[in-house]
Amino acid sequence: MTTTRLGPVVALYRYPVKSLRGERLDTLRVDARGVAGDRLYALRTPEGKFGSGKSTRRFRRMEGVLDLAAAYDGDSPVIAFPDGQAIVGSDPALHDHLSAHVGQPVTLVREADISHYDDSPLHLITTAGLRTLGLAAADAQRFRPNVVIDVPGYGFVEDTWIGRVVRLGEVRLRITGGAVRCVMIGMAQDDLPERPELLRRVGDLHETCFGVYATVVAPGDIAVGGDAHLV
């Protein structure tokens, strides 16, 4: 089978709670659902909508979600608040703290029958694409990818992967399509300032798409430093 080396994996991310900031890791375990533990939890309103940076049929926009960060301690997410508090997901007091922060009643819930994913279980971007947008490596987290691949030069080269399989060590991912962006990419988060013009830039350069979505063909582990190959 012929393969083409794309470049090394330079960053891996997992987001324990949908729409909150996540954690940068050295390895990711990938199973049939996607990255193990990724977006497994979400903030849910009494009406059953999930917290997001945008409002749709399934999601409700909530202010301040990107001010919160989530990371796992064992199997339970821990939510870090801007005031320095860190509250474990199993603490009953967490729901009141989250509700006060986002300004509406919410509870932290684990995924059940309805997936917390927007469109796809995995999301990949390239450094070539970031450079084309005039962005630095630190800006990768604006797009909430799972995998960042270091591809030389410029351009949205990941478009050519659509319909094909990318191999990352033992993991095989089928690239299903481009990722349509929303206003969340320009929101301030962590040390990144607000960039309200960014969505328009992506629209002007690439019809509001950046990065690609994928489904899992073969599970396994992905590690930083490992090479990505196009099969």
Main-chain phi, psi angles of 198, to 5 degrees: -65, -40
The Cα–Cα gap between 108 and 15 comes to 14
Residues forming beta bridges with residue 103, ordered by sequence position? none
Residues forming beta bridges with residue 98, ordered by sequence position? none
Q: What is the pLDDT along the chain (231 residues), one digit of tens a residue?
A: 789 999 999 999 999 999 999 999 999 999 999 999 999 999 999 999 999 877 778 888 898 999 999 999 999 999 999 999 999 999 999 999 999 999 999 999 999 988 888 889 999 999 999 999 999 999 999 999 999 999 999 999 999 999 999 999 999 999 999 999 988 899 999 889 999 999 999 999 999 999 999 999 999 999 999 999 999
